[in-house]
Amino acid sequence: MAGCLFLPVLLFSLTTVFVDGKNPPGFISIDCGLVNETSYVDNNTKLTYQADDDDDSLINSGKSYSISAEHKTNSLDRQFWYVRSFPEGNRNCYVLDNPSRGNDSVQYLIRARFMYGNYDQQNSTPKFDLYIDVSFWDSVEFDNASSIVTKEIVYPSVWNDQIHVCLCKNKGTPFISVLERRLVQNYGSEFGFGGILMARLNLGSEDGKIVRYPDDEYDRIWTPYYSRDLSPISTSLNVSVDDSMYTTFSVPSIVMKTAAIPADFSDYIAFSFSPMNDFSMYEPLLYFTEIQNLSNQIREFNIFVGEDNHWSPSEPYQPPYLYAEAYDVEGLYGATGRQNVSETNISEAILLVVTVNKPNNTQGFHSSISKRLMLLSNIKKKVGSKKQQLTYAEILDITNNFERVVGKGGFGTVYHGHLGNTQVAVKMLSPSTQGYLQFQAEARLLTKVHHKCLTPLLGYCHEGTNMALIYEYMPNGDLAKYLSGLEYLHKSCKPPIVHRDIKSRNILVDEKLRGKIADFGLSKIFPEEGESHVLTVIAGTPGYLDPEYYVSSRLNEKSDVFSFGVVLLELITGRPAIRKSEEKAHIIQWVSCMVPEREIHDIVDSRLGGEYECGSVRKVLDTAMACAASSSMNRPSMSEVVVELKQCLAMEMTPQSIIQGTTFT
């Protein structure tokens, strides 16, 4: 299935100070298989590339080969002259250090590059798989011997002390030409995903050159894009990028100075691609700035994503939900552009209208990537017949004008209130893009599922921009302050549901200290029987996020199991999921180091005062660590977890029952 992106006018379009041969902090550049020298300075980027056989901590396997002479042309970058090949072993790994481990504001851009070049004189390009740590990254295939394949992924630094980039046999012998690590700050944090790169295009480039470092401070590779249907335009004036609102996804000035328009002004610009598989999800990022003097005119154009609503920029919402993503573009020197939304039939393609103001000063151009625009059309206000619909005035009365705040989340503030004689919690949705999406997802889900261990939805409000969900109030707060419901979502709901954001703050506690799962805005419907996972945009909370899901985007019920394992470890130890001030920042790392060397009382929260049965706590600890296994295949199901925890409860209660002269069944 192919998806299409139609752009009537697409104007794509940072500059850093550097020192020749001195790599920026966090940059590692490895010329795999390089012989006869330990390092060199690249002529184009001025970055220093090092040999991989000079340090056994990088790689201690494989053989170095030179590509054949006919492929070693003058235009070929030096990094592709040699390869490291791995004829022995099924899995061979490079080990990169992670000096920023535990810092959730830092990610790494990991890039692996390959050119076969008939290095083995077999004239047969191989196919092999690429893994990062234990998680599948992508497959590597070649069109011909001279084609260059680039694989790029954003890796969160909060995970491990080391990053393993592994090549695994499939058809033929794996090899690698270049391995690069680039440190990026807050890269993609606003969008909640890191992800695997599919393409990065520079429109309107007339010299045909690839743009990367030093023009791009992150050393991203911008590939020129050409089409007979496009005419390039450019400016020699300065284009400054204002990143005051969005410091990530910043675009090099040299890229923003060129653009493309239709060769036929009455035509449109179209991009099409073939997804990697039927479940792949994509997040297109579009950049705009006006680089032509429009003489008191306004440039206005539409953006269509998808041909028939089978594909969208994020979640594939079906009618009547309409979703589009783009950037608000400010005019020159801060004059804000306007966004117009055209009416469109909900069964047609997604429509977004973007307006760019005319330049009012020819000294230079000023572009700002400010915020994503989310459009919802014809949202049904009827959430469910059994749920009470309230007006905004009634919400004000229920909460006494939002007098008491009882919680805050990524999508809104929660207030205490009274609905009749019932205490309620009122979640007011913030006007953010994801807030609208979460409102729809959570409201739809909670009208369909009911369980004693799930927080019940009592009512809702949808009045203009004021959106609220009303829940039963849990007087004891959440689990972080002081579960068979998860098993119900996985096993009893048809189709099953994956929560996707299990954490201690999303498990509320009632007056009888019974836990109830809350916050279903990120939940996903799980595949029907016979399918093992869904692919989706990464969402969740750092510290609780399944690392396998983060890398592969493959979501299954075991992703919830991992998160629940972290919650169990929090309960046992009294520690948060991540404690940045310590060397072993993540709770799994801390427990893994403590278990072999320490007694159980050194691990258990000291606030329990030793009042517990050591055998039961040990069993809970073992269950938690099994849930938190790095590979989903090694994790138990929630049904198995429930059985284990019930046995732990029995062990905890039996001694007390015997003392009191009672029997336990």
Domain chopping of the chain, boundaries: 1-14+215-377, 28-185, 379-473, 509-665
- Establish whether 501 is a catalytic residue: yes
Task: Residue 33: name the closest of 116, 157, 128 by CA.
Answer: 116
Distance CA 213, CA 181 (A): 13
Could you give the CA distance from residue 12 to residue 458 in angstroms, rounded to a whole number?
Answer: 47
Query: Which CATH number fits the domain 28-185, given the four candidates 3.90.25, 1.20.58, 2.60.120, 3.30.410?
Result: 2.60.120
Comparing 158 with 513, which gets the higher pLDDT? 158
When the pLDDT of each residue in the chain is averaged and rounded to a whole number, the result is: 67
Domains 379-473 and 509-665 share a fold: no
For 246, what's the count of Cα atoms within 13 Å in the CB-facing half-sphere?
22
| Beta carbons within 10 angstroms of residue 365's beta carbon | 24
Query: What gap in Å lies between CA 291 and CA 238, rounded to an integer?
Result: 10
pLDDT at 629: 86
Number of H helices, E strands in the chain: 10, 36
Is the Cβ–Cβ distance between 117 and 104 less than 8 Å? no
- The CA radius of gyration of the chain, in Å to the nearest whole number, is 28
Share of the chain above pLDDT 70, in %: 56
Residues 65, 120 contacting (CB under 8 angstroms): yes
CA-angle at 444, arms to 463 and 190, nearest 5°: 75
Q: What is the pLDDT of residue 540?
A: 58
pLDDT of amino acid 542: 74
**Positions of E strands within 401-517:** 405-409, 412-419, 422-429, 457-463, 466-472, 497-498, 507-509, 515-517
Q: Residue 113 above 90 pLDDT?
A: yes
Least reliable range by pLDDT among 216-225, 468-477, 498-507, 577-586:
498-507
Contact 407, 414 (CB under 8 A): yes
Query: Which of residues 5 and 621 earns the better pLDDT score?
Result: 621
Cβ proximity of 299 and 354 under 8 Å = no
Rank 18-22, 58-62, 176-180, 402-406 by mean pLDDT and report only the highest: 176-180
Q: What is the mean pLDDT of the segment spanning 492-517?
A: 48
- Is the predicted pLDDT of residue 314 greater than 80, yes or no? no
Mean pLDDT of 598-604: 78
Q: What does the alpha-carbon distance between residue 485 and residue 446 come to, in Å, rounded to a whole number?
A: 13
* 3-class DSSP string for 652-664: HHHHHHHHCCCCC
Count of CA atoms in the C-beta half-sphere (13 A) of 83: 22
| Residue 636: predicted pLDDT | 85
Amino acid 124: pLDDT: 93
The pLDDT of residue 173: 93
Q: How far is CA 439 from the centre of its chain?
A: 20
DSSP state of 489: I
The residues, ordered by sequence, that sit 6+ positions from 581 with a Cβ below 8 Å of its Cβ are none
Q: Look at residue 522 and tell me whether its pLDDT is greater than 50.
A: no
User: Is 593:584 a contact under the CB 8 Å cutoff?
Assistant: yes
Class of domain 379-473: alpha beta
Greater confidence, 169 or 534?
169
Place 87 in a pLDDT band, splitting at 50, 70 and 90.
very high
CA dist., res. 621 & res. 630, Å (int): 16
Taking the domain 509-665, which CATH number applies?
Answer: 1.10.510.10
Tokens in use for 467? 């959106």
The residue among 418 and 112 whose pLDDT is bigger is 112
The alpha carbon dihedral of 249, 255, 261, 263 has a sign of negative
> In the chain, what percentage of residues exceed pLDDT 90?
14
Catalytic residue among 77, 215, 478, 501: 501
Better-scored residue on pLDDT, 331 or 257 = 257
Tell me how crowded residue 156 is: count the other CB atoms within 10 A of its CB.
24
pLDDT at residue 291 in the model:
74
pLDDT at 49: 95
Q: How confident is the model at residue 115 (pLDDT cuts 50, 70, 90)?
A: very high
* CB distance 11 to 300 below 8 Å: no
How many Å apart are CA 62 and CA 83, to the nearest integer?
10
Give the C-alpha separation, 375 to 355, whole Å: 15
Q: Which residues of 175-185 are buried (b: 16+ CB within 10 A; e: fewer)?
A: bbbbbbbbbbe
Which of 478, 550, 426, 626 is closest to 132 using CA atoms? 550
The predicted structure's pLDDT at residue 560: 80
Distance CA 280, CA 278 (A): 6
DSSP lists the bridge partners of residue 457 as 471
Q: Alpha carbon of 203 to those of 22, 208, 216, 284, 331: distances in Å? A: 30, 10, 16, 15, 20
pLDDT: is 579 or 444 the higher one?
Answer: 579
Please give the pLDDT value at position 562: 87
Please report which confidence band the pLDDT of residue 91 belongs to, taking 50, 70 and 90 as the band edges: confident
Q: Say whether 427 counts as a known binding-site residue.
A: yes
Q: Which residues contact 421 (CB under 8 A, 6 or more apart)?
A: none
Kindly state the tokens that stand for 264.
């036929």
How is 573-604 classified by DSSP, letter by letter?
A: H---SB-TTSSS-BHHHHHHHHTTTS-HHHHS
Least confident of 137-146, 151-160, 177-186: 151-160
Report yes or no: 277 and 290 within 8 Å, Cβ to Cβ. no
List pLDDT tens digits, range 224-254. Answer: 888 888 888 888 877 766 554 444 567 788 8
pLDDT for 528 equals 42
**CA-CA distance, 230 to 261, in Å (whole number)?**
6
pLDDT at 8: 30
Q: Which of 314-323, 404-413, 464-473 is predicted with the least confidence, judged by mean pLDDT?
A: 314-323
